[in-house]
Amino acid sequence: MTDVYDDYRDEFRKRVLAGRPRTILEVGAGDGAFLRTVAGQVDRLAGLDPDAMNVANLKMEGFEAVEGVAERLPFADGEFDIVVFSFTPHHTSDWNAALNEAMRVARNGIEILDVWYDESIADQRTTLALDRWYKTIDRRLGLVHHDCLTPGALLQPVIARPDITFDYACRRIASSLDMAETLEHGRTKLAKVDNDPALARAFEEIMAAGRRDGMSDEGAILMTIEKRR
Ligand SMILES: C[S@@+](CC[C@H](N)C(=O)[O-])C[C@H]1O[C@@H](n2cnc3c(N)ncnc32)[C@H](O)[C@@H]1O
C-alpha cells in the first residue's frame, strides 16, 4: 500500500515543475525526500538545512547543500527561480521572516507543501488533537515544532503585497489510522516526558474521541505564491 505522503509528494512535484523552473532551492531539505523527486530535472538544485548531519548526507548523495536557517538565507536576491518549503513551515521559528527571505531569494515565486487537517470532519479533528499533543511533547523536549499553519497563516506574511498572486489546494486521501499502532506510539512518546499525568489524561481523552469518531491520516496543503511581473 502506498503511503498517502507519496501521493501528496507526487502532486507537489508536478506543481513545482509546472512552470519549468531552471533553478530550485529547497529550504529545510532534511534527508532529501523532496530533492530526490526533482533531481535531474533542473539546471541547479540546492538544499539548505540547519542540521549539519543532514547537510553532510545530502552532499554525500551528490546534492548542492548548505547549512543555514530559513530566516536568514545565505543567497543573493533572485538567485533561484523558485524556493520550495516541503513539510518545513511548521518547523521554522519565525515563519514571517522565513517566507520574506524566500520571496527575496526567489525570482519567480514560492512552492509550499505542508500538513493540513480538514477540521470539518470529526475523524480529522481527533487526529489534529493528537498532532497537537505530540507537538506539545516535542516542544517540552526542546524541539521547534509548531501547530500546522492554516492557509491564512501561511499567506499572512505576504498577503498585503500588491506584487503577488497565489493559489492553493487542500488535499486529503481518506485513510484510517490504526488505533493499536497509535496507542503504542502515544505511549512511547509519553514515556519521554516521564508519563506526565496531565499529558497522560489528555492522551486518554484523545484516544476516547478516536474510538468514538475515528482517526485518519493527515491531508496536505499545496500552495503557490507567484511574483507578478
Ligand atoms: C519534516 S522535515 C522536512 C524534510 C524535507 N523537506 C521533506 O520534504 O521531507 C523539516 C526540516 O526542516 C528543518 N528545519 C527546522 N528548522 C528550520 C529552519 N529554521 N530553517 C530551515 N530549516 C529548518 C529540519 O532540520 C528538517 O530537516
Q: What is the DSSP letter of 149?
A: P
Expressed in angstroms and rounded, the spacing between residue 11 Cα and the centre of ligand 1 is 20
Reported as a single tens digit per residue, the pLDDT across 173-190 is 989 999 999 999 999 999
Expressed in angstroms and rounded, the spacing between residue 82 Cα and the centre of ligand 1 is 17
pLDDT in tens, the chain (229 residues): 458 899 999 999 999 999 999 999 999 999 999 999 999 999 999 999 999 999 999 999 999 999 999 999 999 999 999 999 999 999 999 999 999 999 999 999 999 999 999 999 999 999 999 999 999 999 999 998 899 999 999 999 999 999 999 999 999 998 999 999 999 999 999 999 999 999 999 999 999 999 999 999 999 999 999 998 7
Set of cell numbers at residue 207 = 484516544
CB 37, CB 58: distance < 8 Å:
no
* Domain 4-227, CATH among 3.40.50.720, 2.60.40.1120, 2.40.128.50, 3.40.50.150: 3.40.50.150
Domain ranges of the chain: 4-227
d(CA 36, CA 56) in angstroms, rounded, equals 16
What pTM value is reported for the model?
0.95
Going by alpha carbons, the residue nearest to atom 13 of ligand 1 is 28
Q: For residue 89, what pLDDT is reported?
A: 97
Set of cell numbers at residue 201 = 489524561
